[in-house]
Structure 1
Amino acid sequence: MILHTLLDYDVLRVIWWLLLGVLLIGFAVTDGFDLGVGALLPFVARTDLERRVVINTIGPVWEGNQVWLVLGGGAIFAAWPHIYAMSFSGFYLAMFAALFALILRPVGFKYRSKRESATWRSAWDWALFVGGFVPALIFGVAIGNVLQGVPFRFTDDMRMIYEGTFFGLLNPYAVLCGLVSVTMLVMHGGAWLTLKTEGTVAERARRFASLAALGTLVLYALAGWLLWAFVAGYQLSSPHLANGPSNPLLKTVTAGVAGAWFSNYQQHPWTLLAPALGFAGTLAALLGLRARWEGLTVVFSGLGIAGIILSVGASMFPFIVPSSIDLRSALMVWDASSSHKTLFIMLVCAVIFVPLILAYTSWVYRVMWGKVRTRDITHGDHAY
């Protein structure tokens, strides 16, 4: 009870905003290389044996990595119910497409090698490609729409109404953000393959990952410049109530503010560490690929991904999801959370279970450490 008293409502809200970022980064860094490997599968592996090698680099770990996605969804549902309502209603078709693509992955792993038919196996290989490419693209497109504002509103009785369309999400800036997401995860997946494979497959992966790293640097810089020059942001125009009720309709917001998403960098220069990490980590990954620093390259690409995601949060704080049609409906750190008690109970659970998940994940990676070789496939009883 003493700790509950010390952790004020505003402090808990910021903690859960940070934890949400940690969960998103955890998903992008771990399951991100799974998505990248899936997107690279038809290109880095030409023969059936090579493709089985590639699949088995992620086969033992992808399920554990996807736990971060489940944790992220659960955290949004429990800690940020208004955001959950908006995201899974407004982005329903996009989310369905992403989940359908993710479902293809375990089905592809299980069924691909059930038949010797080359046509059968090729079809599942392309299904695994879809399972990697489509979610990576959709998650980036979603971020691009959030930065521009999403067409939703709340009624006076707090019923959420979304007034956009699926194809409206595919605007040029959002698609650009989707491409940033694809290139950075392909870079990460290629870095993983250089660590886990050898020979021709590793060399092809190194080439594709290098191109993806270069593409990430260019597209991320372009997205940042367009965000500053052409995408008008939002500003809170009424005093914020950090300990106020979770009702987004009690504030006023100003839209069309040029450079609003860069004001935090001007007011708090230390936040520039986020985009700096995005550029530095990606550049280091590119150099690591060329220098053949296999393990370090995976770390560098992970740091680049973390920096890119952190830069979005640093730019938008305290906004989480602004509304483009009803400014007061914008969801912020201060008015979109669950109750004080709920956030506290969830924090206790997170303190207990997140370290357990990290410990188990570390143990799994330690057990599965090492390269996947062709003899592991031809003489193994448990290979996909």
Structure 2
Amino acid sequence: MSNDLESIVAGAREAFGKAATPADLENAKAQFLGKSGRITELMKGLGALAVEEKKTRGAAINLAKQAIEAALTERRHALADAELEVQLRAEALDVSLPGRMREPGGLHPVSLTMERIEQIFASMGFDVADGPELESDWHSFTSLNNPPNHPARSMQDTFYVDIKGDDGIPYNLRPHTSPMQVRYAHAHIKKYAGKKMPEIRVIAPGRTYRVDSDATHSPMFHQCEGLWLGENVSFKDLKVVFTDFCRTFFESDDLALRFRPSFFPFTEPSAEIDIQFQSGPLAGRWLEVAGSGQVHPSVVRNMGLDPEKYIGFAFGMGPDRLTMLRYGVNDLRLFFDGDIRFLRQFR
């Protein structure tokens, strides 16, 4: 290779070496291998040479061109490696930091309570029913013997939505799971049409909604409605069933129950149910856990049954309240704040 070609190759290597980016490298390449590059101009000049000289000169130019292309490829690889190194440094992981452990999940404490309630009542022969959370006024109030002026219907107690039923009254977010009494009874009667109908024995756990929020109340809370209806079901059965439930739920026979006279539109007579632990931190205090009573004849009639023939009891309790008592929690809002430090205790 002649001195001028060696000088061109050296110049190309120096230019390529100074290129800091791929764009700079392409600009340097154009100076030597582009349409007007130095090697290209030399190739164009071969036409004016004699045949033998053209062969010799052409071979030398080709060697120079190959050397420049090799230098270009080498520099391209170097720039690509440098770019990758920068990227790797930017995305590097500090393996000395502690890893993020994925903790095993678990059921929410209220879900644990709901499951426990369902299992206990299922062992007593109760079905578990589920119903809509968006309810009609008739199912939420009228069918349950609530008069038109009952305070529960007011906007201060019940959430209403911009959807109206056939009666022109807006639907509501159910304030209790009691509508399932009538819904289940209708389905039960239809199921056994033309046959001897067995007793209605069912619980209906689920979410409910009321305009309320403090340490012991939440706008969204849970309720479990219970119903036992038959031809020979008495208030005595209610006391036996609920006493057995409470002692099983709290895993203690060392507690007493008290039925206080009360008033609910859908039962007559009605009673509040209180429990008293005989030992432990809550010993000696009467704690309200449920409302109950004998199903009102008007409600039985709205179920499509004859109140002269069918009689029974209903009760409504708060699984959230039972969860607080079972685990010793004094603020209901802790269950729904989503604080993993609190919830992992029940895992």
- Name the TM-score, length of structure 1 as normaliser: 0.23
Q: Higher relative CO (CA 8 A, sep ≥ 6), structure 1 or 2? A: 1
- Name the TM-score, length of structure 2 as normaliser: 0.24
Structure having the higher strand fraction is 2
Q: Which has the larger radius of gyration?
A: 2
